[in-house]
A and B are shown apart, each in its own frame.
Chain A
Amino acid sequence: MADPLAWHRLQFAFTIVYHYLFPQLTMGLALIIVLLKARALRPGGEAYATAARFWVRIFGLNFVVGVVTGIPMEFQFGTNWARFSAVTGEVVGQLLAIEGLFAFFLESSFLAMLVWGEKKLGPKKHFAAALALFVGSWMSGVIIITTNAFMQNPVGYGRGPDGVFVIQDLGAYLFNPWALAQFAHNQMASLVTASFVVTAVGAFWFLGGAHLEQARLNLKVGTGLGLLASVLVAFPTGDLQAKLVAHHQPAALAAMEGRFESGTRAEIHLLGQPNVKERKLDNPIGVPMVLSFLAFGRFNAEVKGLNEFPEADWPDNIELLYYSFHVMVGLGTLFIGLMGLAVLFRWRGWLEKTRPLLWALMLAFPFPYIANTAGWMTAELGRQPWLVYGLLRTADGASPTVHAGSTLFTLIGFCGLYLVLGLAFLFLVGREVTHGPEAAHA
């Protein structure tokens, strides 16, 4: 209770997990809207224009909440992580400033055009507004992920007086291999979320017998993109991430897999509970050699266990890390199966008669949110006990003068505000979905 660090971490984790619920939809949806509107420009595209119009409204609502929950993130670097901020102006602050000037201004200037300007702008210019918003939101993504990648895998840096981080090699810093893999994986994951949501709305209308033409269109677009994105999120992008973790954060990989002993021909665990006290995995069920292959590309590669590392360098919540990783990968496997089945059934023309599958598609949309959250928990818990991997400990980053009570108080405040915000948001999105799509504005 008296240690503010735990409250700082909890508050940051809560506010960023909440924030990310919204951008993960808007980034994926921006791409889908661009695709829909591109199709709508061609002859016979009326239905696509109608679908795009509906999704723009959902996009707008999500965007609003994304913006208001993003601003606290920016402030918390200074308020909660002052000692971290004091040394990372050049490597973190710089990119946040660039994000503001180049991505957020772009997004905020075009949002109103996209949401309210369809009639005024005409189809071509309105398409351009959608494109601008897509570029802006993916630009926010790549910039913030580059900063996170630096914290995961610091490259191209030097240390100045007082341990200040300086950029020594701009190219190496910007083209951090971790950032490229993380961005690719993260954007595909955000496309998974968006296509599951599109699919779910289509299934909802179809099962309720409403807006049948639009329901079919959403099912078609959602399942097609959903399968594509679900495959890409696992391979090559997820695989690439795993190899990077194996290479640069061996202790994190060991903890993600609940692996204490080192050895070759390492098995991957499908089930089991980590028992940190006794340094073993209880009730393990695994497949031999797969982990070695996934991490290093060879079946007999040596994979280190946690016993190789001093306990002070272990991630501090091994259980949560292990479960997060397994939830993400487990769900990812299920997503490929579900979307594969849906695409197959649609192709054969069985989907509309198979109500259980439509029900499953309708109810599946929360799971990509869970997988995304679990993925970020994996990344961020795996980075522990470091803020900047191997260089700056989390315990050395918090603000020195903020009391535990203040942080607890603000954490409770955030919980209350976000609860009300979430309820209002769900209510409004629910209304839009039940109201359904509208043809061109009367």
Chain B
Amino acid sequence: MPEISTVWFWLVALLLTAWAVLDGFDFGAGILHRFVARTDSERREVLGAIGPVFDGNEVWLIAAGGSLYFAFPRLMAAAFSGFYLPMIFVVWALLLRGVSLELRSHVTNSLWRSFFDTTFGVSSFAVPLLMGALLGNLVRGVPLREDGYFELGLFAAGGDLGVLDGYTFLCALLVLTTLAAHGANWLVWKTQGPMHQRVRSLRLPLWLGSCSLWLLTTFVTWRVAPDVIARFPQRPLAWLGLVLVLGGLTTVFLKRKEELAPFAGGVAFIVGCLVMTAACLFPVALRANEAALSLSVASAATGASAMKGALLWAGPGVLLAAGYLWWVLRHFRGKVTAARDGEGY
């Protein structure tokens, strides 16, 4: 039986991964839509392809945040306050994304629509970029102090570390490209017509980009955080992640004529990358530049008895959420047509 804190580590990772995969294609669609959707009805088609699901997809983030707060309060306290500005930027971008999606189609005026099309694109671009950089920071490590908190500038200036520096920027690009490719897969699956063709032709270059960025990032990680990579061989889950990544990429490239299979391959790639990262970081929850100060999964965790008791709600809760997801997706089978005017809530 694994430690209860380990169980919760994987539970929080599961919720975050679900968010990355599900909201990931919403972001991807948002990144692409300014480029691939040329007419208003094509834009509405993109929105129609994610509109009914994006709200529920976002709840995975909220659930992950709440679970992180519950299970690893010290990790959440240190990371959220240490990354104060980028975190608030994420919040703003999420806010702008939600508002743009929901309010755009209420008014037929073309200025109103093109304003919200732009804010939708920009915010969909910002979240993966920031989240990618933050993920990079977790791998590279932060200047954690003895009191368990840290401060980090927004940019790397004069050789210091920053939230955005060479390495984390590379991670950000990887996440951005991957989610754009993932969004393209979703749009190919869900749409038809001339836009469908345009997205189709973008898929291959995007996945090639994502694949090469992944190789590059892995190589640089080996230089930046060798101890993280060094844990790889002893971690069965990391091997599983690698299998998912390779299998996913193979599917994406070999089945590129199909619609559903490449989407599934993309999902496997994203899940595999995140599983590998989590497995190699474990048992560290927040990597400090000074290894002795790192926050471990066990030391950041809430009391064991509370975490055991909480499995009583967490298990059914996650199943219920998965049930809703299945139900909504079923209602929403097949290709979309451009949403009616005035649609949106």
Write out the residue numbers on chain B whose beta carbons fall within 8 Å of the beta carbon of A431: 106-107
Distance in angstroms between the alpha carbons of A164 and B306 in the assembled complex? 12
Write out the residue numbers on chain A whose beta carbons fall within 8 Å of the beta carbon of B59: 100, 104-105, 108
Out of B69, B85, B94, B328, which one reaches A77, CB within 8 Å? B69
B298 at the interface (CB under 8 A from A): no
**8 Å CB contacts to B: which residues of A18-69?**
60-61, 63-65, 67-69
Write out the residue numbers on chain B whose beta carbons fall within 8 Å of the beta carbon of A71: 58, 61-62, 91, 94-95, 98
Contact in complex: B320, A167 (CB < 8 Å):
no
B73 at the interface (CB under 8 A from A): yes
Encode A77-110 as 1/0 by CB contact (under 8 A) with B: 1111011011111101110111111101110110
**8 Å CB contacts to A: which residues of B229-247?**
none
Encode B113-155 as 1/0 by CB contact (under 8 A) with A: 0000000000000000000000000000000000111110000
Encode A272-309 as 1/0 by CB contact (under 8 A) with B: 00000000000000000000000000000000000000
Write out the residue numbers on chain B whose beta carbons fall within 8 Å of the beta carbon of A112: 51-52, 55, 328, 345
Contact in complex: B103, A75 (CB < 8 Å):
no
B70 at the interface (CB under 8 A from A): yes
Encode A364-390 as 1/0 by CB contact (under 8 A) with B: 000000000000000000000000000
Contact in complex: A167, B306 (CB < 8 Å):
yes
Main secondary structure of the interface of A (DSSP, over half): helix
Given contacts A72-B91, A82-B78, contact A410 B345 (CB under 8 A): no
Distance in angstroms between the alpha carbons of A109 and B55 in the assembled complex? 8
Segment from A183-191, A243-251, A341-349, A398-406 that makes contact with B: A398-406
A236 at the interface (CB under 8 A from B): no
Distance in angstroms between the alpha carbons of A69 and B88 in the assembled complex? 13
Out of A77, A86, A102, A170, which one reaches B74, CB within 8 Å? A86
Contact in complex: A82, B77 (CB < 8 Å):
yes
Contact in complex: B80, A78 (CB < 8 Å):
yes
Write out the residue numbers on chain B whose beta carbons fall within 8 Å of the beta carbon of A106: 324
B225 at the interface (CB under 8 A from A): no
Write out the residue numbers on chain B whose beta carbons fall within 8 Å of the beta carbon of A74: 62, 65-66
Out of B99, B302, B320, B327, which one reaches A421, CB within 8 Å? B99
Encode B49-91 as 1/0 by CB contact (under 8 A) with A: 0011001101101110111111111101111111011011011
Distance in angstroms between the alpha carbons of A63 and B55 in the assembled complex? 11
Out of A64, A83, A90, A409, which one reaches B303, CB within 8 Å? A90
- A150 to chain B minimum Cβ distance, whole angstroms, is 14
B334 at the interface (CB under 8 A from A): no
Closest A residue to B340 by beta carbon equals: A116
Segment from B249-257, B267-275, B309-317 that makes contact with A: B309-317
Contact in complex: A417, B96 (CB < 8 Å):
yes
Write out the residue numbers on chain A whose beta carbons fall within 8 Å of the beta carbon of B219: none
Encode A397-431 as 1/0 by CB contact (under 8 A) with B: 00111100010011001000100010010001001
Closest A residue to B63 by beta carbon equals: A100
Given contacts A92-B69, A166-B303, A410-B88, contact A400 B147 (CB under 8 A): yes
Given contacts A72-B91, A97-B63, A109-B56, contact A60 B345 (CB under 8 A): yes
A160 at the interface (CB under 8 A from B): yes
Write out the residue numbers on chain B whose beta carbons fall within 8 Å of the beta carbon of A115: 345
Contact in complex: A98, B149 (CB < 8 Å):
no
Out of B84, B87, B302, B345, which one reaches A111, CB within 8 Å? B345
- A244 to chain B minimum Cβ distance, whole angstroms, is 27
Write out the residue numbers on chain B whose beta carbons fall within 8 Å of the beta carbon of A98: 66, 313, 317
Contact in complex: B81, A400 (CB < 8 Å):
yes
Encode A335-355 as 1/0 by CB contact (under 8 A) with B: 000000000000000000000
Out of A75, A90, A101, A402, which one reaches B321, CB within 8 Å? A101
Write out the residue numbers on chain B whose beta carbons fall within 8 Å of the beta carbon of A61: 345
Closest A residue to B306 by beta carbon equals: A90
Contact in complex: A89, B88 (CB < 8 Å):
no
Interface centre among B70, B73, B85, B103 (most CB of A within 10 A): B73
B264 at the interface (CB under 8 A from A): no
Contact in complex: A79, B63 (CB < 8 Å):
no
- A19 to chain B minimum Cβ distance, whole angstroms, is 11
Closest A residue to B309 by beta carbon equals: A170
Contact in complex: B84, A101 (CB < 8 Å):
no
Closest B residue to A418 by beta carbon equals: B95
Write out the residue numbers on chain A whose beta carbons fall within 8 Å of the beta carbon of B313: 98, 101-102
Contact in complex: A101, B63 (CB < 8 Å):
yes
Distance in angstroms between the alpha carbons of A310 and B260 in the assembled complex? 69
Interface centre among B306, B324, B345 (most CB of A within 10 A): B345
B259 at the interface (CB under 8 A from A): no
Write out the residue numbers on chain A whose beta carbons fall within 8 Å of the beta carbon of B303: 90, 160, 164, 166
Contact in complex: B345, A90 (CB < 8 Å):
no
Contact in complex: B328, A68 (CB < 8 Å):
no
Contact in complex: B81, A82 (CB < 8 Å):
yes
Mind listing 24 A-B residue pairs with CB under 8 Å? A61-B345, A68-B95, A71-B94, A75-B65, A78-B76, A82-B78, A83-B77, A85-B73, A86-B73, A89-B69, A90-B303, A97-B314, A98-B66, A101-B63, A102-B320, A104-B63, A105-B56, A108-B55, A109-B327, A112-B55, A401-B82, A401-B84, A421-B99, A424-B99
8 closest pairs, A vs B, by CB? A78-B80, A89-B73, A93-B69, A97-B66, A101-B317, A399-B81, A100-B63, A60-B345
Known: A71-B61, A75-B65, A89-B72; 7 extra A-B contacts, CB below 8 A, are A71-B58, A71-B98, A80-B81, A101-B321, A105-B320, A399-B77, A401-B151
Q: Which residues of B are in contact with A by a Cβ distance under 8 Å?
A: 51-52, 55-56, 58-59, 61-63, 65-74, 76-82, 84-85, 87-88, 90-92, 94-96, 98-99, 102-103, 106-107, 147-151, 302-303, 306, 309-310, 313-314, 317-318, 320-321, 324, 327-328, 331, 343, 345
